[in-house]
Structures are given as structure tokens and as C-alpha cells.
Structure 1
Amino acid sequence: MLAPFTCNLEGISTQTISKIGGLHKMLGLRDHGFVAIPRDSIQCLPECNSTNKLGASFETPCGRSLVKPVEYVELISSLRPNIWSALADEVPAWVSDKRNKTSVDRTVRWLDECIQLNRAGGSVFGSIVGGSSVQERERCAQEVANRNVSGYWIGIFGLGESMDERPALLNAVTDILEEEKPRLVSGLGLPEEVLQGVAAGIDIFDSTYIYHLTLGGFALTFPLDGVETNLSAFQLTNIGSDQTKINLRATMYRKDTSPIVENCKCYTCQNHTKAYINHLLNVHEMLAQILLEMHNTHHYLSFFHSVREAIKSGNFEQFRLKFSESKCYHLASEAAVACM
């Protein structure tokens, strides 16, 4: 399982990146793996100039941009990522059956075009869509599994489906795909969502969860060592959190001289206090986000490490249940206190 590294390349031409030698050389991260996914935080919808000229339309800070498969493959060729996924027509969970079916047909057609045009090298991941329809997801997964791809990118999560219906949607896809080929999913970032994805057979997660968490002033605090918590030691000072994170903008941390998480090995926890970060956040210092993101990234990666260890030891299901139970206990306790 991998956590994402997001790189904003706005303002840099593809020709410049290509002449430098790709992303690895430009960023100086030759030993790192890069994954290119044509996904934006804003929903992207297809546009059509004519029947034969389809492209993915993305919302950007400079307006809408239409990208056709040939242009997309040229872009990938300049970036030279280790893994890249074909274009996908992502639609939210509430669209009509007809629109959902069109989304699958278009995504499969784009995959065929991307494979045919591929000059970029790297591992091509086939995109799988289907919205909230189990049947359409199965159909798309079957079509993609029949193509010559190195792995699978499973999209359209986080666009309106509920946590309860997600396992069926994930299993409908993963039951069809080849086990030896990696499965990458976008839109699942919450710890409980990650555990849900792992249980369904997902290998790699792409998410903006840490970025948005940090932007809101939140810090991850949930236990990592087997999710062992002393539930009897639950304290009222934790009210307002959800047992996974705390809001460091809150006044209760103004004089708190403890680290974000005791015994955490990240730079922030080793050198700074909650009170200092609370001060930085409330005076809008840029250092606040830097320090907070360092902790959140470290904690999130440690969570993935704990998940991998639980899988290796054969205790993953127990690990997942303990995590869910600890969060449910906290929410129940919070509701009880609120009623007093």
C-alpha cells in the first residue's frame, strides 16, 4: 500500500519537463515511484465536439480544459511516470442508468485509444468506473481485465456513494480482476475507508485526505500499535474529536505543552508542542501547515505500516474491528455526555 505524493505542475510546459528528462530528474527524486492519474478534486465531465472527438473536460484555475486521449498520452510521455492510468469518464453516484452506462462505454473506448497510442512506457493501469451500479462496475471490470494492462485504477469513489454500499461496489470489481496485478483506488482516504478498501483487496490508495485535513488545522492522533486503547480512560477533553484527529485551532490547546502524540517520532512532535502549533494556526503563519503536515504524513504512513504488519501476522480483520469499535465507543460516549 502506498500513500500519495501530489505535485502541482501548473505553469510548467510539458516540453520543459520532457527536455529535463521527466519528473524524476526535474524533482531530483530518482528513487521514488510516480503515479499519474487524470483526476481533479473538482468533478470532471466529458465533452463532445463531434461523435469521433471525445475528450475529458477538467475544471482548472484557468477554466475548463478539454483533453483528448492523444494529448493525454503525449503529456504522459513527457512526465515519464512509473505508473499511469488511462482517461476515465467519472460521474457521481446519482446520475441516471443511461449516463452511467455511457460512462463505462466511453472509459473502455478511451482505454483502447490510450493503449494504442502508448509511447510513454511505464505500467498502464486500466480505469474502472460504474458509479453506484454493481452491474456496470462488473461490466467495466470485465472489459478492462480483457485488455493488456499492468494493473487497475478503480475510480468514482468519494462522489456520493455511502459507506454501507461501498463494500459491494468494491467486491464487484476486485472479484473479477487478476490477483497478481495491483489495484489502485482514488477517493478513499479516511482510516476506516482505507481499512474497508484493504478488506476488499485494494493495494494502493490515492487520496488528498492529508492535505485537506492539514488545511483545516486537524492533526491525526489515533493509536497505531494494534489500535489498543484503554477505553476506561476516556476523558472529556477528547469531546469534539472523532477518535482519529483533533482540531489544533481549538482554545483548549492554547496552553497545552505536550506534543501532538506522545512518543511520536516525527520532527514536529519531537520539537514542538500543541500550544505552539495552536498559536501558529491562529496567527496564520505558514509554518503551521508545514509542521502539521509533517506530523500528519508521518502518522498516516505509520498507519499503513501497522496495516501491513497486521496483514503479515494474519490479524488484519481483528485490527480492523478494533479500530471500528474504538471509534464507535468514542462517538457513543460523546453522545452520552452531550445528553447530560
Structure 2
Amino acid sequence: MPPTERREGSLDGGVAQTQVHSEQESTNMKFAIKAWCKSGRARVGLLQLKSSSSLGQGGPPAKEIEIETPALLLTTRKGLPAFISPDHLSFLPSPDSRLLQFSPMHFMEGPNSKTITNIGGVHRLLGLQGYGFVAVPRDSILFLPESYSSNKNGASFETPCGRFLVKPLEYMKMITSMKPDLWVSLADEVPASVTAKRNKTSVDRTITWLDDCISLKPRDGALFGSIVGGCSVEERQRCAQEVAKRNVSGYYIDGFGLGDSIDERSTFLHAVTDSLPKEKPRQVCGLGLPEEVLQGIAAGIDLFDSTYIYHLTLEGFALIFPLNGKCKHDVSDPQLCATAGDYTKINLKATVYRKDASRIVEGCKCYTCQNHTKAYINHLLNVHEMLAQILLEIHNTHHYLSFFRLIREAIAEGKFEEFKQKLIESRREHLLAATLSAFELVTPVR
């Protein structure tokens, strides 16, 4: 089917029938590049979203959201960060924190598509009309792709409630009912260990499912085409070139964080971005660590997820890595290295913080650092009080959003490569010091 055509398709379950018309890029999303790195692909952009979720529903008028890129999308559970309630979202930097990423699979055990349609979509369901929602098939925590159970009919996902096979038609019912501002086409993701034949099949299926999603596309919401290809440069290039031929608003680079090597990742990222038009935004899944984020930005990626923050918060860790490359923690303290952190993060469950009346990061402007001490959060963690995770997620999100802000400033000032090298070298030195100190604690004196 030519990418500029749409066929009529009926989405039952309370979802309105689509009409045949020429495919046009969504008018609800605009993207413009504001600055480029002097040498390389890193860029600063402006993503503008105008939510139409309230139109025709008797709600407030649509609001325009402007997000500078490279940007962090907040990973959510059913539309909200795991530990931050709607009334606490105002504690996060705005507008940087106004892009929320969710998986439609989160709602498979909740309200059905007809109910969400009647409510008016995910914005009205959650009462967050002033936020942008990005729908992606894969949730890197709860809904993991199961490549060996996927088939030509749909993608399989392992979930806490069992295994689900999601077909393009079923997926599009969910998208149409939820009315996200941006949404990603269904993909057949495979781990790095699959055979070349299975990897090629995943690309073929992903392209076919993209055409199915385009044919059933709702009028609202911008479509990002999924790009897969595993650990094959040729297959990733082929997939990117095929997706680039379709009329999509942006690109979603899938398949990272599934056993691939960080050393090879830069080659795959550059192979994909070289095959994509420069004027459209690119999002990636599976890059979370600071080094990985910088690696993605250097390849020309604009949007990242924040699963990394969730894992840190759940385990009681707080981000402390220096945003300016200067460490404020004493690398000569072996106790800190071995029991409480690695100079990227500190474990606030550790006994060393039981009487520590200092802030997580001195000078941090987040609500947590302005109002609470390490000792208090240590106490909350050790008595299993959920407020600990609330305070930690506020700090960790604020810290990482500040990291992205400094990256944008470095690109705009033509200093991105210097910023990247300084941070990576600083973290390498700190991690090495932590490793050596921990080794000294467990090695007998000779």
C-alpha cells in the first residue's frame, strides 16, 4: 500500500470508524531545530504539542506545550510517575517535566477502550490536560517484548498478568481511545542473541505493522514509526530507510537494552540516523545511563525515556553525579565507595547516612533537597515508608532534567563534545576509585 493512502477501517469496541483521506502530518505537533553541534549530529530542537483531547468533550481549550530537546520523557505507570501523584508534579521543573510516556498495555487490566473513549482519552482520564502523553508499546519494566512468542499476527509481551499477543488492530483500538499526543507504531523487537533470519523477519513484520497502523491511524496524535534491526547494521539501515518512506511525524528507535553491547551501540545509532531526514524528531528506547544518553545525543537523538530513574528510586538510590564534572564527594572514603554509592548515586539505606543532616546534593533546587536531609530519607527507607520513594523520585527526576538542560546549553554554546568528554572522564575516574576502594576493604593486607 502506498504510504500516502489510507483505507477505511472499523475499530470496534466503541472506537469511531476512520475515513478514507490523504495522509497528512499531524497539525498537533511541530518540531524545529534551533542549534547544531559544531562537529557532529547533536542538536537542540523545539517540540510543540497542541493537545486536542478536550475538543468536543466540553472540557477546557487545548493547551500548547513547548519542550526543548534533547529531552527526557517521564516513564509512568498508567500515565503517572510511579511515586509522584498529580499534586506533586508541580514540584518538578516546568515545562521540562511535561512529557509523560506510558504503555497502552498498562490499561489492559483496567478501563476498556470504550470507557476511555467515553471519558475523552488519557488526558481527561487523569485530569492532566496541560501535559503531553506519549504512547509506546514496550514498557521496559513491566511489559517486556517476548520475541519467541511473537508471530506474523502480532507482538507478544510478558507482563505480571501473563503473556499477551497484541495485534495491530487491537493496538490501534487502544491508541484511538486514549488519544495520546504522540504514539509509536507496533514493533517486533528482538534481543541481540537472535539469528540473522529472525532479525530480518522482525524488520519485515515491523514495516508491515507500521502500514497497518497508518491505515487505521486516528486524526489526532502524531505517529512515530518504529525502527528495529537488532545487532545488524544492514537491517537497521533497511528498516530506517523503509520507515523514512512512510508519512510519519517522527521516528522511534527500538531494540536497545535487550542484550546489545554499549561499545557497538554508537555504530547502530549512527547507521539509523544517517538514513533518516534531519527535520523530524527521533526517540530512542533503552538508553538510560548518563553515558548512554550522551552517546545517543551525539548520534542525533532528541527524546529519551526515564526508566533509569525508576530503578534507582525503587532501590533507595539518589543521583549525585556532578553536573559540572566536579565531584563534591570525597573519593578517598572507602566506606562511601563500598557501602553507599559509586559517585553517580548514593544508597540512602546505608548506615553511614543515619545521622547525616546534609542535603542529597548541596545547592540542588528540588523540593526534596530544599526541605529534607539524608538522615530523614534514610529513616523513611528503613521503616518502609512510601514517602521515601516520593522524595527520591522528585530529586532524581529534577537532577536528570538539570542534566539535560546543561546538555542543551552546551550544544547551543558549541561545547557539547567538551561537555561529553569531561563528564565521561570524570565518571570513569570516580567509578575506578570506588572499585579500588571496595577491593581494598575486602582484600587482606599483604
Judge same fold: TM > 0.5, yes or no.
Answer: yes
Q: 1:239 is paired with a residue of what secondary structure?
A: helix
Residue 234 in structure 1 maps to residue 304 in structure 2: no
Asked if the contact 1:46/1:89 (under 8 Å) is kept, the reply is no
Question: Once the two structures are aligned, what percentage of the paired residues are identical?
Answer: 64
Q: Which has the higher helix share?
A: 1
17 and 46 in structure 1: CA distance in 2 versus 1, 3 angstrom threshold: farther
Partner of residue 302, structure 2: 203
Residue 84 (structure 1) aligns with: 183
Q: 1:223 aligns with which of 295, 319, 322?
A: 322
**Alignment-mate amino acid for residue 311 of structure 1:** I
Conserved in 1, the CA contact under 8 Å of 2:337 and 2:435? no
Within-5 A mapping of 1:260-339: 260-337=360-437, 338-339=439-440
Alpha-carbon spacing, 1:280–1:301, altered in 2? closer, same or farther (3 Å): same
Q: Deviations over 1:62-91 (max 9, x none)?
A: 211121111111110111011111100001
Q: 1:174-189 maps to which residues of 2 (within 5 A)?
A: 174-189=273-288
Partner of 2:71: 2
Q: Is the 8 A contact 1:154 1:185 kept in 2?
A: yes
- Are 1:102 and 2:201 counterparts? yes
Task: Give the drift of 1:205.
Answer: 0.5
> Aligned in 2, Cα 1:336/1:206: closer, same or farther, shift over 3 Å?
closer
Q: What is the alpha-carbon root mean square deviation over aligned residues? A: 1.7
Tell me what 2:350 maps to.
250
Q: What do residues 196-218 of structure 1 show as CA deviations (whole Å, max 9, x unaligned)?
A: 10001000012311111100111
Q: Does the Cα contact within 8 Å between 2:190 and 2:199 map onto a contact in 1?
A: yes
Relative to structure 1, the CA distance from residue 298 to residue 32 in structure 2 (aligned partners, 3 Å threshold; closer, same or farther) is: same
1:134 corresponds to which residue? 233
- CA 1:239 to 1:124, structure 2 compared with 1: closer, same or farther past 3 Å? same
Report the CA distance shift for 1:221/1:148 in structure 2 as closer, same or farther (over 3 A). Answer: same
Of 292, 299, 324, which aligns to 1:193? 292
How far does residue 242 in structure 1 lie from its aligned partner after superposition? 2.5
Given residue 292 of structure 1, which amino acid in structure 2 is its aligned partner? Answer: L
Deviations 1:145-186 (A, max 9, x none): 111111000000001111110000100000110110000001
The answer to whether the 8 A contact 1:46-1:55 is kept is no
Higher alpha-carbon deviation: 88-97 or 10-19: 10-19
1:33 correspondence with 2:102: no
> SS at the partner of 1:66?
strand
Specify whether residues 21 and 107 from structure 1 end up closer, same or farther in structure 2 by C-alpha distance, changes over 3 A only.
same
CA distance in 1: counterparts of 2:305 and 2:175, whole angstroms: 18
| Higher RCO by CA contacts (8 Å cutoff, separation 6 or greater) | 2
Letter in 2 for 1:234: V
Alpha-carbon distance, 1:332 to partner:
2.6
Match runs of 1:140-179 below 5 Å = 140-179=239-278
User: Post-superposition shift, 1:46?
Assistant: 6.3
Instruction: Give the AA of the match of 1:24.
Output: H
Tell me what 2:174 maps to: 75
Write out per-residue CA displacement over residues 82-134 of structure 1, whole angstroms, 9 at most, x where no aligned residue: 11111000010111101100000100010011101112521111100001111
- Quote how far apart the aligned CAs of 1:45 are: 2.7
Asked if 2 retains the 8 angstrom alpha-carbon contact of 1:76 and 1:120, the reply is no
Q: Is the 8 A contact 1:219 1:247 kept in 2?
A: yes
Give the counterpart letter for 2:230 in structure 1: G
TM-score (norm 2): 0.72
> What do residues 206-246 of structure 1 show as CA deviations (whole Å, max 9, x unaligned)?
2311111100111000112x323479x63415413222111
Determine whether 1:45 maps to 2:144.
no
Cα displacement (A) at 1:18: 1.1
Q: CA deviation at 1:29?
A: 1.6
Aligned residues: 335
1:259 maps to 359
Indicate how the Cα distance of structure 1 residues 207 and 91 shifts in structure 2: closer, same or farther if over 3 A, else same: farther
Cα distance in structure 1, aligned partners of 2:262 and 2:352: 32
Q: Secondary structure at the match of 2:153?
A: strand
Supply the distance in 1 between the matched residues of 2:419 and 2:399 (Cα, whole angstroms).
17
Q: Which residue of the partner structure matches residue 123 of structure 1?
A: 222
Name the CA distance, whole Å, in 1 between partners of 2:139 and 2:402: 26
Letter in 1 for 2:370: Q
Aligned counterparts of 2:419 and 2:233: Cα–Cα separation in 1: 28
CA contact under 8 A between 1:219 and 1:295: conserved in structure 2? yes
Question: Judging changes above 3 Å, is the alpha-carbon distance between structure 1 residues 46 and 150 closer, same or farther for their aligned structure 2 residues?
Answer: farther
Q: Report the AA paired with residue 77 of structure 2.
A: C
Q: What amino acid does structure 2 have at the position aligned with 1:44? A: E
Using the alignment, how far apart are the partners of 2:409 and 2:325 within structure 1? Answer: 12
